[in-house]
Amino acid sequence: MAFEIPKTAYSGKIREIKLGSGDKAVTVGGETCYPFYLFEGEMPHLPRIAMEVWDMPPQEWAEAALEPFKGVTDDPASWAKKCVADYGAEMICLQLVSTDPNGLDRGADEAAEVVKKVADAVGVPLIVWGTANHDKDTEVLRKVTEVCQGRNLIIGPVEEGDHKKIGAAAIGYQHTVAASTPIDINLAKQLNILLGNLGVSDELIVMDPTTSCIGYGIEYCYSVMERTRMAGLTQQDEKLQFPLICNISKEAWKTKEVHLADGELNMGDARKRGILLEAMSAMVLILAGGDVIVMRHPEAIKLVREIVAELTAS
Amino acid sequence: MVLIGENLNIISKTIGPALKERNPKPIQELAQAEAEAGVDYIDLNIGPARKRGDELMEWVVKTVQEVTDKPLSLDTTNPVAMEAGLKVCKGKALINSISPSRMDEEAPLVKKYNAEMIGLLWGREGMPRDAAERGVIAVELMYKANEMGVPNENIWFDPIATPVVNIESNQSKPCLEFMSMLQDIAPGCKSTVGLSNVSNGAPTHLRPYLNRAYLMMLMKYGLYSAIVDAFDSELISIARGERPEIVALVHRVMDGDKPAFSSLTEEEVKYVKTVRVITGEALYSHSWLEI
């Protein structure tokens, strides 16, 4: 009898979610198989990389991460433009770091104005990320949704504690929400149910499982993402059939290892080290089912794109 | 089904202070209420009781015995306190519980006081990971107990129910599987389960659904006893055989039947959904009954 390769019995499909608006909008999700199991199903939309832009000049970035963005880090709109024009970014993730109540504590109006400028400067889909402070994010992200009405931004993190107010604003002004939970599949499912109860359409949800980088617990993130995909694809769990977004760059580039100088602790070239840590972490998350990966360094992004191309070459 | 009321517990906000202050009133009121609710045993959980545990157990046993004749389940990890309780316990006491690492110290008490014991299937390396590991621990406990003169009918195995809310550690199915093989590996031994564990972490008002559904599931394999919330009257009705239709439905679902929700009552749908989250067929979330 001829050997037959066992096949996974899939019964579900990840939802296809359209991000952004206009001719630069992208669609993510749609998988009918585990990541890159192209011999068992389809990945109609390959994972997308969103390039990270900050709304204030970063103070503590490693030199290697700053270097590609020299001259534009004090202007988020120029920074985003550079990402699109020079590095081919298909999406931008604007981190509203300046709104942190423990930092600059910039107000909602000012923050929303910056978001509007960035959205106008680039046509690609825009992810807008708050500081995970429920009160402040509610204030800031609600204003952002209003100012950018109809642009279909991706607003995050939307957590259980602020999902009602931010979710309602997203419904009102037509944006997608990034439902964020602390590496826990049961809580992730629950938040998606709550968003559904609130009236957020299933077409406007992506999930942020919370991610960390290599050396800092990525295995656990991998397991949770993998299990999420199993529930969505093989257990018909409709509340987990959403694309996954992973905010990995800030995790990779804040590690102690990335900030060590050349040769310190025998860890070699600092630039290469940072780029590889980011690229490898991103790749792990893509293999776990990540659909949108937020990344920072153009060379790390290039590496990831090459690997994805190789994995999907026919 | 032998029901052990779990409510008299040191972690309770009223019972904890009453135990500490040796205030008999709240304790006697609760014991009486549990007896009236229809449980067969009253569990006296005084916790680890490291300091003067013997005095405390002796006092609480006497205090409860003043108001009820129900048999008592003595619940502490302090062997000295356990013995002090056994000494003054009038009926046949149930020792709750003994795991393999404590057998040498505590099993002699079972014989000495003609008591019964709950054999807790907690291994030397912690929580067993499947039914087979539970079986191994059960056999070890049984042999050791037999050697010390404790017959099988005085051993009640507790396979340790785990919270459904935590996908990583959900052992509900292995517990069921263990129950299905118990009479083959330990003939004549009894069984019990700390039922409320299964709903730990779930919203308080929904916990009874998980407790009741899991009880019905365990009943399929002849569960002898359960440690329960004495004040869940619906649960007690189920245990007393007064809800045969819903029990039959739960057992059909366990056998793979997928009844159309439109053919069921609202209440039945809730139990079917609950069975599915306990088995892991559907992933648990706090809103499991709504979707």
Which CATH code for domain A16-312? 3.20.20.20
CA-to-CA distance for B87 and A243, rounded, in angstroms? 63
CB contact under 8 A, A235 and B283: yes
| Per-domain boundaries in chain A | 16-312
Residue A270 pLDDT > 80, yes or no?
yes
Distance from CA of A158 to the nearest CA of B (A): 18
For testing contact with chain B, the best of A181, A183, A189 (most B CBs within 10 A): A189
Q: Is residue A229 within 8 angstroms of chain B, CB to CB?
A: no
Q: pTM for this one? A: 0.86
Q: Which residue of B has its CA nearest to A237?
A: B282
Q: A231: closest CA among A50, A12, A40?
A: A12
Residues of chain B with pLDDT under 70: none
Which residues are CB-contacts of A271 (< 8 A; sequence separation ≥ 6)? Answer: A63, A64, A67
Q: What pLDDT, on the 0 to 100 scale, is given for residue A263?
A: 87
Name the token pair of B86: 């056994």
CB A128 within 8 A of CB A169: no
Q: Give residues 188 to 207 of A whose Cβ lies within 8 Å of B.
A: 189-190, 193-194, 197
CA-to-CA distance for B176 and B182, rounded, in angstroms? 10
Neighbours of A293 (CB within 10 A): 27
Q: What pLDDT, on the 0 to 100 scale, is given for residue A1?
A: 78
Q: A182: closest CA among A217, A135, A155, A229?
A: A217
Chosen CATH of B2-279 out of 1.10.300.10, 3.40.50.300, 3.50.50.60, 3.20.20.20: 3.20.20.20
Share of chain A above pLDDT 90, in %: 96
The minimal CB distance from B283 to the residues A194, A197, A237 is found for A237
Please give the average per-residue pLDDT across A282-290, as a whole number: 98
Burial of A198 (0-12, 13-18, 19+ CB in 10 A): middle
Q: Which residue of B has its CA nearest to A188?
A: B285
Taking only the tens place, the pLDDT of each residue in A91-121 is 999 999 999 999 999 999 999 999 999 999 9
ipTM of this complex: 0.78
CB A45 within 8 A of CB A268: no
Name the token pair of A204: 């406007």
Residues of A in contact with B284 (CB under 8 A): 186, 189
Sign of the dihedral through C-alpha B32, B35, B37, B41: positive
Taking only the tens place, the pLDDT of each residue in A30-83 is 999 999 999 999 999 999 999 999 999 999 999 999 999 999 999 999 999 999
Strand order in the sheet with B116-120: B190-191, B155-158, B116-120, B94-98, B72-76, B41-47, B2-5, B225-228
Residues of B in contact with A237 (CB under 8 A): 282-283
Q: Is residue A234 within 8 angstroms of chain B, CB to CB?
A: no
Name the token pair of A250: 């800030």
- Paired with A219 in beta bridges are none
Q: Which residue of B has its CA nearest to A191?
A: B285
Amino acid (one-letter) located at B234: E
Q: What pLDDT, on the 0 to 100 scale, is given for residue B121?
A: 97
CB contact under 8 A, B167 and A227: yes
Amino acid (one-letter) located at A14: I
Q: How many CB pairs under 8 A join A and B?
A: 34
Backbone phi and psi for residue B10, each to the nearest 5 degrees, phi listed first: -65, -20
Share of chain A above pLDDT 70, in %: 100
CB contact under 8 A, A240 and B283: yes
Residue A314 pLDDT > 80, yes or no?
no
Neighbours of B244 (CB within 10 A): 9
Residues of A in contact with B167 (CB under 8 A): 185-186, 227
Burial of B104 (0-12, 13-18, 19+ CB in 10 A): exposed
Residue A167 pLDDT > 90, yes or no?
yes
Residues of B in contact with A186 (CB under 8 A): 165-167, 283-286
Name the pLDDT band for A210 (thresholds 50, 70, 90). Answer: very high
Q: What pLDDT, on the 0 to 100 scale, is given for residue B97?
A: 95
Please give the average per-residue pLDDT across A282-293, as a whole number: 98
CA-to-CA distance for A289 and A225, rounded, in angstroms? 6
Distance from CA of B283 to the nearest CA of A (A): 7
CB contact under 8 A, A235 and B282: yes
Interface residues on B facing A, Cβ-Cβ cutoff 8 A = 165-167, 281-287, 290-291
